[in-house]
Homo-oligomer: A and B are copies of this chain.
Amino acid sequence: MRRPPGLAAVAARAGVSVSLVSRILTGDPGLRVRESTRQRVLRAAADLAYVPHVSGRALRLARAGALGLVARDVGDPMHAEIIQGARLAAAARGQALLLAGPPEPAAGAAALDRLAGEGRVDGLLWLGGFDDDLAARAAAHLPVLLVGDRPRAGVPGIRLADERAAALAVAHLAGLGHRDIGFVGRDAAGDASVRRLAGFTAALRERGLMVREEWIVSGGWGAADGHAAMGALLAPPGRPSAVVAADVVGCVGALAAARERGVAVPGELSVVAVHDAWFAAYCAPPLTVVRLPLRELGGRAAELIMDGDLDGPACGHLIDGPPELVRRGSTAAPAPPITG
């Protein structure tokens, strides 16, 4: 592997010292240099297509110039959107983004220790699959930011306006005339789920609607979990006329469960999900959703950690771009009650 030209090559070509090249290229403010020399150096660097070597810089500066991303599942559409936002924000500052594994508690601890210690990244963005011990362990060596979660074990977190999103979903359904509204949750352990549920129940109470525990079911993050949850919700006796799904992926499963049971959406059951995704418009029926600024979440998270703006371990930042209702075909006014 041939080494690319370094500062020494540029210096030799320009007939100056290595340190001068470095100071010119990094824009040392306290440097006085003849303009002709500066141009000569700049030309030499351009001629050789010089690119600073990150390892040399990292070694000297004790900064890697890269962010790590710990994701439960890269393929999750919500994660993908967050990742895209983070990548763009990182790239805008010349920082690289590297993919760390989903933190399997088994091999995860060792892998995480290694990642934290080997100096490859300056900070960690953590998406989903939160584990207090693991996060605290990593945070002992590196700045860590939990994305989409509350602060945990002293590790700061950044969140979306989850309560407002759920409340907006309820408002939409109530506006259509629904009074019997259920909730299909995500993983009950996740803070985002908890807060969406909180927003849901608060919005119900605010309108004097009844909160029925048997209409609140939770699962995990996959479509299969949504499927199971909706199955439980539709079991007799009695079912709601509308459902808020905490997550659009689970909602796809939930929709399938309704279809399998012959429950017409939106004829007999209105469904609205939190988060938008490419497939929502192609579901049968197209899903009404509450859109949240996922990309902005990723971008802000990356910026916070690059700036070191974590404000102490107690702080939980909030991205409160307003939730936006995207009305498609899965919600309608409730059917007139049928006795039986």
Contact = CB atoms under 8 A, between A and B. Distances in A.
Interface residues of A, number: 62
A212 interface: no
Interface in A3-60: 3-4, 49-56, 58-59
A99 to B, nearest CB: 5
Nearest to A101: B91
Copy number in the complex reads: 2
B99 A52 contact: no
A63 B55 CA distance: 10
A54 to B, nearest CB: 5
A96 interface: yes
A202 interface: no
A113 interface: yes
Given A49-B117, A74-B83, A98-B97, A278 B223 contact: yes
A81 interface: yes
A120 B4 contact: no
A50 B73 CA distance: 29
7 contacts: A54-B55, A59-B59, A74-B84, A74-B87, A98-B98, A223-B279, A256-B281
Interface of A: 1, 3-4, 49-56, 58-59, 62-64, 66, 69, 73-75, 77, 80-81, 83-84, 87-88, 91, 94, 96-101, 111, 113-114, 116-120, 122, 141, 222-223, 227, 249, 252-253, 255-256, 259, 278-279, 281-284, 286
